[in-house]
Structure formats: structure tokens, C-alpha cells
Amino acid sequence: MAQRTVESIVGLFMIAGLAALLFMALQVSGLSPKAAESTYTLYANFNDTGGLTPRGRISMAGVTIGTIDSITLDKKTFQARVKMAINSDVDNIPTDSAAVIRTSGLLGEQYIDVSVGGDMDSLKPGDTFYTTQSAMNLERLISNFASGR
């Protein structure tokens, strides 16, 4: 076969590969073209984070507004300190909002739900949620119920 024909076919082959990669990026992994969205940081302290993991979802009214950056232990208070990256366009979270750890479905993964407060002021980058609600621990709930406390 002539070298030109081979070259064209190989060219098409490579284009098919690129198209496949593009399909993977856009359709399969839902990567939006404006890739790196700018975010700001908020903190929340929990008594028990349960099965919360980094890269977990943070949502408000069911809409994802950010991801969990890291979870560390505060050695003074013995609480878990969760660092969250909130999308910059959500810049008006009222200061008295609460961060609640919820589970999607009965056995699904855990995420942080921000339940909105009524304050006029908004949380600024670096602020900490005042009210938090820790993970619902099914086991503890049952044992509490059983021992009648």
C-alpha cells in the first residue's frame, strides 16, 4: 500500500483516539470546559464525621456547591475540622447556616448539607460554621434507644 494512504489511515486512527478521549472527558466524566472553578475556603467542626471522606460533596438544597478538601483532628478540642472548598459564585451563605452531615439513601455515601439560615451577613473566606450537626450514627442511636437514655 502506498505510504500516503497508510499515513492518512494512521492519521484518521489518531483522530479517532483523540475523539474518544474527548468523549471520555465531556460525556462520560462530565468535565465542563471551564475546568478549574475558583473556590473559597470555609471550615466546620464536627464531633463525629462518620464516614465522611475528602473529595466528598457539599450541597445546598440538593445542589452541589463545593467539595471537601481535607479532614483533620483539632488536638485542642478533639473535634474533627473539615476544610471545604465552596464555589466562588455561591458567596452569600448566611452566617447562621448549619453544616449537617447526611447520608444519601440508607447506605449511600455521606456528604455535607448546608441548611440555610436567615442572617443578613454572609460567611467570608476562612470563616467557620457556627452550628454543625454530626453524622447520624445508626449503631449509637440504637444502643441509646435500648438503654433508655
Partner 1 sequence: MLDHVRALGRTGIDVVVSFGRSGQFLFGVLRGVPKPAVGFPLLVRQIYSVGVLSLAIVVVSGLFIGMVLGLQGYTILSDYGSESAIGQMIALTLVRELGPVVTALLFAGRAGSALTAEIGLMKATEQLSSMEMMGVDPLRRVISPRLWAGFYTMPVLALIFSVVGIWGGMLVGVEWLGVYDGSFWGNMQSSVEFVDDVLNGVIKSVVFGFVCAWIAVYQGYDCVPTSAGISSATTKTVVYSSLAVLGLDFVLTAVMFGNF
- What residue ranges bind partner 1 (CB under 8 A)? 3, 6-7, 9-10, 13-14, 16-17, 20-21, 23-25, 27-31
CB of 81 to partner 1, least distance (A): 21
Query: Nearer to partner 1 by C-beta: 13 or 78?
Result: 13
Query: Nearer to partner 1 by C-beta: 9 or 141?
Result: 9
**110 residue type, one letter:** Q
CB of 132 to partner 1, least distance (A): 25
How far is 111 from 54, CA to CA, in rounded Å?
A: 10
* DSSP assignment of 107-138: TS-EEEEEE----SSBPPTT-B-SEEE----H
Q: Are 132 and 79 in contact (CB under 8 A)?
A: no
Query: Nearer to partner 1 by C-beta: 8 or 122?
Result: 8
How far is 70 from 48, CA to CA, in rounded Å?
A: 15
Query: Nearer to partner 1 by C-beta: 3 or 38?
Result: 3
Query: Nearer to partner 1 by C-beta: 7 or 121?
Result: 7
CB of 105 to partner 1, least distance (A): 9
CA-closest candidate to residue 56, choices 85, 90, 92, 99? 85
Please report which helix (H) or strand (E) contains residue 22, including its range: helix 3-23
